[in-house]
Structure 1
């Protein structure tokens, strides 16, 4: 699926900057923690331990501050300048996740900005380049697709429940 080129309206960024940043930060850190050892190897990421990191989604007004501890990622409430800040538009982060574009292309076209410790930025980029991520299909997030998936799930559950009820009440 090719993502259309878009930038969220400025009012979204203004609103997003006023909202609490903890919920989306928790979503990010939970996702990263689920990926640790499954998709993301822990060993190459050890230099990130104790570092202040931030993902800034410029057009959404999000500034997600987090750090990596010895065992997992967690939100950070440290207001100091992060050791590494990665900034891009929502569309560009989605394109990275969907593997439609790579970090180098976005970086050299100035659509992805890394500020702070260069070594950390290279570590993150190189780690992500070597990881075999499953294909992230953005089409599955479209409302029609999501409703279809929900409908199929509910039908399976209702059919499975009805079958279980019949077999339990009529053992054979």
Structure 2
């Protein structure tokens, strides 16, 4: 199955940068609906309350894409631009390694493959929150795909693994 991951990475690599051309309104709709579905339980349990009234910005540097995220009374909300309390920046492969749990989050941050800027206490709280989320929240096929892709990225290693961000 690792071969499947390699094939998808090879095919998807040139397509991912095109995501920046998707209208932000559509990105926002898809992201908010996905988070609502995936994080219903953690939201109800107050796990995302650390973002109440605070803004997290996620930047995927090599794709030229970014989103700001907050927790309001309704749930998680996405904005194009907002005042930023904390920024987490990295390349898409590092975010995939984080999401697939193929790489320890502390390793990604300590090696500066993912960077936290701004309110580092909030950034660490978000990192710990992401690390604590149960993969069983995801539909099994989605988790399987993310796992395959993460394993393929980890196996490839190479420059993205060793190159810290500015």
What TM-score results when the alignment is normalised by the length of structure 1?
A: 0.64
Q: Report the equivalent of 1:53.
A: 56
| Cα deviation code 1:90-139 (max 9, x no counterpart) | 11111111111121111111110112211211111112222221372227
| Structure possessing the higher radius of gyration over alpha carbons | 1
8 Å CA contact 1:67–1:73 kept in 2: the answer is: yes
Q: Report the equivalent of 1:62.
A: 65
For 1:14-33, list aligned pairs within 5 A: 16-17=19-20, 19-33=22-36
What TM-score results when the alignment is normalised by the length of structure 2?
A: 0.66
Q: Report the equivalent of 2:104.
A: 102
Q: By percentage of residues, which structure has more helix?
A: 2
Equivalences, count: 139
8 Å CA contact 2:87–2:116 kept in 1: the answer is: yes
Q: Structure 1 pair 113/21, CA: closer, same or farther in 2 (3 Å)? A: farther
Q: Which moved more, 1:17-26 or 1:51-60?
A: 17-26
How far has the Cα of 1:141 moved from its partner? Answer: 8.2
| Cα deviation code 1:32-53 (max 9, x no counterpart) | 2222343556423213112222
Aligned counterparts of 1:32 and 1:17: Cα–Cα separation in 2: 20
Q: Report the equivalent of 2:145.
A: 138
How far has the Cα of 1:69 moved from its partner? Answer: 0.6
For 1:122-133, list aligned pairs within 5 A: 122-133=124-135
- Two-structure CA RMSD over aligned residues (Å): 3.3
Higher relative contact order (CA 8 A, sep 6+): 2
Q: Structure 1 pair 111/89, CA: closer, same or farther in 2 (3 Å)? A: same
Aligned counterparts of 1:55 and 1:39: Cα–Cα separation in 2: 20
Aligned counterparts of 2:67 and 2:146: Cα–Cα separation in 1: 25
